[in-house]
Structure 1
Amino acid sequence: MTAETTVRVESCRIAEAPQDLAAHHAVRHAVFVVEQGVFADTDVDAHDADPATLHVVGTVNGQVAGVVRLYVREGTEWRGDRLAVLPEHRAGRLGMHLVRFAVATAAARGGERMTAMIQPPNEVFFRRLGWHRTGPTVDYVGQPHVPMEIVFSG
């Protein structure tokens, strides 16, 4: 009897095709509206309509399983937000790949730092990736969040 081996192939890319953008929004809806109830009907906002906003998809074995959104906040400061990974893929490393992809993408486009509002249970995860807290926990989209940032190294 042989044991089956499941290989997780995780990758990230900017959503450019309509089906990638639809999958991006579907993951966000599943996590932020259905699972967590952070938003009542939709988490889509004005940043999604801005053509400069980058919508990233993370895949596991070719299927979109996680997402993150990033955009220039001001000058060389980028904002990363709407990081979401479907529950069945949270035990893997997809969230880490998405955060690192977002940081590398912003740095490659001239960014010097990235900021984010992080749900408190995820603060340690971000600290392990080089982020640091920039202030006290605050109310953001109706829930407690920790302001954090990462400064890009040269």
Structure 2
Amino acid sequence: MGAYPSRSSSDVIAPTLTCRSVVSAGELAQHARIRHSVFVEEQGLFERTDQDEFDHDPTTHHVVGYAEGVPVGTVRLYRVPSPDGDEALWQGDRLAVLSGHRHLMLGGPLVRYATETAAAAGGDRMIAFVQPANVTFFRRLGWSPVGGPVAYVGVPHQQMSIDLT
């Protein structure tokens, strides 16, 4: 029998993960394709498209996450009115990572990029509505649940919040 080389975890090189705000039509198309793959084709949350009015608002930030330069994740963020009118409130949504790349842990960098972007734009707080399976993930990133689950496109979602100041 021949010897098989073994690899320790220190021999494994983690892929380079980067997140960038969309600056071109091509990047915006990549963003839309990833979201369509996750929310329409895989999860069936939307029938034909997950695009809405925020996608056409020029103040919306569309973000693409890359693994070794390949676009595999997205998030978008935009300013929303605060209930009391006294704070700069941002919402993050459409967090998506292609199923074959979820093991790379790109979700964390995408969420951190979104919160840093909102904070740099003067945001006080950010909210997101997440599927229950992702509540623990958001808690680990410093987010807190607000209220109980609510229905969104017929699926329970939990509102989460994080202070940006």
1:126 Cα deviation after fit: 0.1
AA aligned opposite 2:68: N
Hey, what does 1:13 align to over in structure 2?
A: 20
Mapped partners of 1:89, 1:52: distance in 2: 29
Mapped partners of 2:115, 2:48: distance in 1: 29
1:93 Cα deviation after fit: 2.1
**Aligned-pair Cα RMSD in Å:** 1.5
Give identity over the alignment, percent.
49
In the superposition, the TM-score normalised over structure 1's length comes to 0.95
Mapped partners of 1:89, 1:97: distance in 2: 14
Alignment of 1:54 onto 2:61? yes
For structure 2, list consecutive stretches of 5 or more residues without a partner in the other structure.
82-86
For each residue in 1:99-154, what CA deviation from the matched residue of structure 2 results, as whole angstroms up to 9, or x when unmatched? Answer: 0000000000000110010000000000000000001011012210001110113x
Q: Which structure is larger by alpha-carbon Rg, 1 or 2?
A: 2
Matched positions, count: 153
Mapped partners of 1:44, 1:26: distance in 2: 11
Hey, what does 1:71 align to over in structure 2?
A: 78
Aligned to 1:28, the other structure's residue is in SS state helix
Alignment of 1:123 onto 2:130? no
For each residue in 1:69-99, what CA deviation from the matched residue of structure 2 results, as whole angstroms up to 9, or x when unmatched? Answer: 1000125000000000001111122100000
Ranges of 4+ aligned residues in structure 1 off by more than 2 Å? 1-7
Mapped partners of 1:5, 1:117: distance in 2: 35
Deviates more, 1:35-44 or 1:134-143: 134-143
For structure 1, list consecutive stretches of 5 or more residues without a partner in the other structure.
none
